[in-house]
Structures are given as structure tokens and as C-alpha cells.
Amino acid sequence: MATIPLQLAQRRLDTGNAVSYPNSSPVGAAMQGLGDEVSAVAERFRQQKQQQDAFDAEVIGRELNGRIAEAEKEAIQNAPADGRGLHDAMYGQVDPRNGVVKPGLFDNIFDSTVPKIPGSERASFIRQKEALRLAGSARMAAQQYARRQDYEQAEWSKAQAAELNAIAQSNPDDTATFEAIRQSGFNFIAKMGNPMARQLAETGWRSNTAKALVQAMIAKDPRRAIELLGAAPVAQAGDGETTGAEGTDLSAKNPNWPASGDDRLADLTPDDMAALARLAGASVAQN
């Protein structure tokens, strides 16, 4: 079937230089009918073109979403350990009052897509840009925040391991060194950004430093460690009596009251004391 160019098909018959026939005449009626038919064909062509443009715009829009998703994935993979700059690299910086201050990769991807959109759909497509930015910005902000939390937790775990090892290897009677290490840990924790993470880290730090101190005690004098933990006096190995904390009801003790009178052990739970007492007993038995 022949194709009628839109700019021509939209026009009715041009009778500017043609012979004019009265509408009541057979020829005039035929000419009018032909003009109406051409107009109908033009309208159908316009509707079909509009439908095709909408379809093509949808295809290109989906391709754009795929490119954005791939770019976000690569940005996350290539971001530094602490997530710094992840959001701005992908979605730039936006001032709510003045609009985009600094474009990001999203702007490059979107703007390079615009020329591919059919002209009839382009304005509508461009209006979607800021909505897409807003949704993507929230995703990247969440990713950057999560990356930062993981980074802070990982760095704290490394610092904590080093500090606990220092306590475990130190002289348990050197209270000043213990308190200095403990305070150093609290100072580190105070700089963490997540309040809940800070609270959990502080609770764990109190307990872990007390455990490390008992480990130092066990290394120096396991019998004394058992006594400090509230166990029965340790008998000499081979006299038929227990050498550990077996039979001692440590769970009956107030967990907030240090059995030895040493405030540094106040954060040990009954379960912690029982486990450490067994460890001390095993050390006595081996020696």
C-alpha cells in the first residue's frame, strides 16, 4: 500500500488552481469525498505515528533504566571502602532552590539519551529526569550510608582486637595502663556515626576489656584468677579435690557486683565468669 507523507496527507485537496465544481454536482461531491478520505488517512497515519513514537520512547526508557542500574552497580563496586563520594559521583549535587549544582554520571547518561527519543515524546521524557534522579539519589545515599557503617565497624573491630590483645598481654595489676586502653577505646567509639552502633560497641567494649583483663590474670596466676572470679579456693593438683570452678554456683552472684572487689570486672556476666573460671581451672590443671 502506498504511503502518504504526513505533511501532505494532513492537507485536504488543494483547489487553489484547480477547476471549481459546485458541491451539488456529481464531480463536486466526488472531489469532496476524496478530500475527506485523504483527511481520514492522514489522521490514521498521525495516530499510528504517535503510537509508534510512544512505543519507541518506552523501549529507550527501559534501556536507560538498564544503563543507570549498571552504572550504579559499577559505582558501588569502585567506591572507596568508606563509601565517600559514592552518591555525588552518580547523581551529583542538587540545591533544592537552584537545581543541579554539580552534575553526576546520571546526568551524562540521561542527557545522551534525550536525542534518541522521538520528538513528539521528548518533552514528556525530559520531565521525568528529576523524578528519576530523586529515586536514584535515595538508593545511592542508602548505599553510601551502609558502606560507611560497614567501614566504621570494620575499623573498630581491628582497633578493638589490637587493644584487647594489649590488655591480655599486659600486667593485670597495672590499673593505669588498663584504664588508659579502655578510655582510648571509648574515645574511638564516640566518633562512630551511628548511635545504635555506638551503644552496642560501648557495651561490648566494657565486657571484652574485662574478659581480656581476666585472661592476663590467668596467664600470670590462674589460681588467683579463680579466686577473683568467685570460685572456691584451688586445691593442689593430685589431692583429690577440684582444680577448677566445678561445683561453684557463679550464676547466683550479682552480675553487677565484682566478686573480687575489683571494679574492672564489674561488666562480666555470670556466664562470662563461669567460662573464664573454667579456663583458669584448665590452666591450673595443665601446670
143 Cβ contact list (under 8 Å, min separation 6): 72, 76, 83, 86, 87
CA end-to-end span of the chain: 103
| pTM for the structure as a whole | 0.70
Strand partners, 99: 95
CA dist list (Å): 202 to 3, 71, 187: 77, 38, 10
Q: Which helix (H) or strand (E) holds 74?
A: helix 26-78
96 has a pLDDT exceeding 60 = yes
Q: 25 phi and psi, to 5 degrees? A: -80, 155
Q: How far apart are CA 134 and CA 60, in angstroms?
A: 20
Q: How far apart are CA 272 and CA 208, in angstroms?
A: 10
**Domain regions of the chain by residue span:** 37-143, 169-286
Q: Are residues 83 and 147 in contact, defined by beta-carbon separation less than 8 angstroms?
A: yes
pLDDT, averaged across the chain: 81
Range 184-208 average pLDDT: 96
pLDDT in tens, 125-159: 999 999 999 999 999 999 999 999 999 999 999 99
